[in-house]
Amino acid sequence: MIESVTALSRPTLPAGKLQTVANQFEAVFLAQMLSAAGAGSASSEGGIGEAQFSSFLLNAQAQQIADRGGVGLAEVIIRHYTSDSVEGGT
């Protein structure tokens, strides 16, 4: 019989490394969401420099949001990889 996905073993990372990776993932996710919302769009007044460097500003803003708690995505990832219980198996 085929094993369920939850029955597979989860990779283990040290707690500090898991926190860092989850936070970075949330920052990348937030940068994509901010970009899709138009937050990183260069104005016509800023010139070529603004167009070239707007992605840096957007990434820095997304990282700041993630560092201050973000939207909770990093917390969900950490909880998933640190929980010992297997859901749906009882």
Helices (H) and strands (E) in the chain, counts: 3, 0
List, for residues 68-87, the tens digit of each pLDDT value: 999 999 999 999 988 764 45
| Statement: the pTM of the whole predicted model exceeds 0.75 | no
CB atoms within 10 A of CB 26: 24
> Alpha carbon 81 to chain centroid distance?
15
Q: Where are the domains of the chain?
A: 13-82
Give how far Cα 8 sits from Cα of 11, 69, 74, 81, 88, Å. 10, 29, 21, 12, 13
Confidence of residue 42 (pLDDT cuts 50, 70, 90): low
Three-state SS string across 19-41, please? HHHHHHHHHHHHHHHHHHCCCCC
For the stretch 47-71, pLDDT in tens is 777 878 888 989 999 999 999 999 9
pLDDT at 90: 43
Q: Is residue 40 over pLDDT 80?
A: no
